Amino acid sequence: MPLHDEFQHRRQQIIDGALEVFARFGFERATNRDIARAAGIGSPGLIYHYFKDKTDLLYQVIRERMPLIPLIDAIEQLGDEAPEIALPRLGARLAQAIDQPITIAIGKIVIGEVLRHPQLTQMINEIGPGRAINAMAAYLARQMELGRLRRTDPNVAARLLVGPIIAYLLSRNVLNQPEAQAIAAPDMVTEAITLFLRGMRPE
């Protein structure tokens, strides 16, 4: 195996091992020895050949394994596409992504670590939630300029769109509420987008 390919293969092994260990023990309790064992590498010290520290490793786990990250990339690339087309398409991808076990596992890791380690909040925000809201707000602002959506604060509008879906995920996957678990993800996402678009029709 070429040296570059071997480096990338080992790096991916460590990311997968870290995901398994973080999900089982949490970020703080996870040790390099646990991660090395789960990754199938001989020495825990090898981890620092591929990652700066454990925080950098958590960053890469989220960036490279969280199924929601490509959706944020997609929001940033929407451009001038009409919301009646763009948002339902994104919603279908979102519904598929949030039903994946890996999304739930990483989501629980993130929530736990933000509560225990506020210093990680900025890093996690820059990868996911904050970046997603900013990208959506920028897209909605552009649609308002084009006259396709009612003019309002785009940051408020972005949170009105995303907020119900986040609340659904928390109540279903973290609080384990039976009522939320009885709602299929596609139904929840579709209804949230439909109601949002209805309320944002130009005056």
- DSSP code string of 131-142: HHHHHHHHHHHH
pLDDT tens digit string along 119-146?
778 888 888 888 999 999 999 999 999 9
Residue 112: the pLDDT is 79
Do 57 and 71 fall within a single domain? no
- Mean pLDDT, the chain, integer: 91
Please tell me the predicted confidence (pLDDT) of residue 196.
Answer: 97
pLDDT digits (tens, 9 = 90+) for 8-49: 989 999 999 999 999 899 888 899 999 999 999 988 988 999
Residue 176 pLDDT > 60, yes or no? yes
Give the residue from 44, 62, 80 where a domain finishes.
62
Beta-carbon contacts of residue 108 (< 8 Å; ≥ 6 apart)? 23, 173, 174
Is residue 107 within 8 A of residue 23, CB to CB? The reply is: no
Number of domains the chain is built from: 2
Q: What is the CATH number of the domain that holds 181?
A: 1.10.357
> How much is the pLDDT for 174?
83
State the Cα–Cα distance between residues 53 and 41, nearest whole angstrom. 17
**Considering all CA atoms of the chain, what is the largest pairwise distance in Å, rounded to the nearest integer?**
64
The whole domain housing 187 covers 66-199
